[in-house]
Amino acid sequence: MNIMKAENYVEMSVQASEYISKKIESKPNITLGLATGSTPKGLYAKLIKNYLRHEISFQQVSTINLDEHIGINQTDPNSYHFYMKTQLFDHIDIRETQTHLPYGNAQDLAKECDRYDLLINRLGGIDLQILGIGHNGHIGFNEPGSSVNSRTQVVRLTESTRKANAKFFKSFDDVPTHAITMGIASILESKEILLLASGRLKAKVIERLVKGKLTKRFRHQP
């Protein structure tokens, strides 16, 4: 594990965008795993800048996102489909058919989970996964205690996650109770992971991630 420190949020976003831009340069048809939330917004803005300066092209890049809320339409400003379009996809030369997110409004969510896992396989796995981390340590929407063997699944969001996300919604009651998320196993199989965290509130969870002991639950997984 390499730890890259940055002075502040902007510096973190610049470092991450330079790292990813170099990866795209060396493998133009890279598969990037993407995250949403507040943390990667600055990174996406910097990637757009690099694209506009003709430093990188996303023509051959494929993307696969971590998660989506259940029961929200793709056009809803609180959907991660909408987030990705407005924060990144609409501003770069990526092909829409090469961008992938799970559908939280699929009629058959079990089938949608299977489709997503097959898609990850079809893409040959994830070359570089970008991650944020929740205050409670969740990755994607895999809340603490999720199995390390999990694949794409429907999960119930904890109250703390819903509270953290309430800032994006009109009220706490509008925050969805469930989400569809890529599983821990698929995330861990990524060839490389770049986890971003910024701010005092994230310091504790990063300390536990880096220095904490493996929990019993994790050790006992086959």
Binding site for ligand PGA (CB under 6 A): 37-39, 132-134
CB of 41 to ligand PGA, least distance (A): 8
Decide: 30 and 130 in contact? Cβ < 8 Å: no
- Exposure of 68 by Cβ count < 10 A (0-12 exposed, 13-18 middle, 19+ buried)? buried
Least Cα distance to 178 among 205, 153, 201 occurs for 153
Closest to ligand PGA by CB, 122 or 163 = 163
Closest to ligand PGA by CB, 103 or 140 = 140
**Please, what sign has the CA dihedral across residues 119, 192, 51, 182?**
positive
- Selecting among 68, 112, 127, 143, the annotated active-site residue is 143
CB of 2 to ligand PGA, least distance (A): 20
CB of 127 to ligand PGA, least distance (A): 20
Residue with smallest beta-carbon separation from ligand PGA: 37
- Selecting among 69, 100, 138, 165, the annotated active-site residue is 138
Closest to ligand PGA by CB, 24 or 132 = 132
Report the alpha-carbon distance of residue 83 to residue 105 in Å, rounded: 16
96 tagged catalytic: no
CB of 50 to ligand PGA, least distance (A): 21
73 tagged catalytic: no
Closest to ligand PGA by CB, 59 or 136 = 136
Q: Please report which helix (H) or strand (E) contains residue 217, including its range.
A: helix 216-219
Decide: 160 and 136 in contact? Cβ < 8 Å: yes
Least Cα distance to 47 among 23, 83, 80, 82 occurs for 23
Decide: 210 and 137 in contact? Cβ < 8 Å: no
69 tagged catalytic: no
- Selecting among 29, 73, 136, 149, the annotated active-site residue is 136
Catalytic residues, by residue number, are: 67, 136, 138, 143
